[in-house]
Amino acid sequence: MEQRISLHDKHFVPCIGRELIAEKVAAVGAEISADYAGRRPLLLAVLNGSFIFAADLFRHLAIEAEIAFVKLSSYSGTASTGKVNIESVIDPLWLGRDIIIVEDIIDTGRTLAAFVPELQKVNPASIKIASFLVKPDAQQFGIAAHYTAFHINNLFVVGYGLDYDGLGRNLPDLWVVE
Ligand code: IMP
Ligand code: MG
Does the beta carbon of 106 sit less than 6 angstroms from any atom of ligand 1? yes
- Residue 46 domain flag: yes
Note the pLDDT of residue 80: 64
Chunked into runs of 10 residues, the chain (178 residues) has average pLDDT values of 91 98 98 98 97 98 97 72 81 95 96 94 97 94 96 97 97 98
Structural domain containing residue 139 = 18-154
Number of domains in the chain: 1
- Residue 128 domain flag: yes
Note the pLDDT of residue 123: 96
165 is catalytic: no
Does the beta carbon of 173 sit less than 6 angstroms from any atom of ligand 1? no
CATH classification at residue 62: 3.40.50.2020
- Residue 34 domain flag: yes
Note the pLDDT of residue 1: 63
- Residue 171 domain flag: no
Note the pLDDT of residue 77: 66
Note the pLDDT of residue 109: 94
- Residue 125 domain flag: yes
How many A from CA of 37 to the centre of ligand 1? 30
| Nearest atom (ligand 1) to Cα of 114 | 2
Q: What is the 3-state secondary structure (H, E, C) of the chain?
A: CCCCEEECCEEEEEEECHHHHHHHHHHHHHHHHHHCCCCCCEEEEEECCCHHHHHHHHHCCCCCCEEEEEEEEEEECCEEEEEEEECCCCCHHHCCCEEEEEEEEECCCHHHHHHHHHHHCCCCCEEEEEEEEECCCHHHHCCCCCEEEEECCCCCEEECCECECCECCCCCCEEEEC
Query: Taking the model in full, what pTM does it have?
Result: 0.95
Does the beta carbon of 15 sit less than 6 angstroms from any atom of ligand 1? no
| Nearest atom (ligand 1) to Cα of 157 | 19
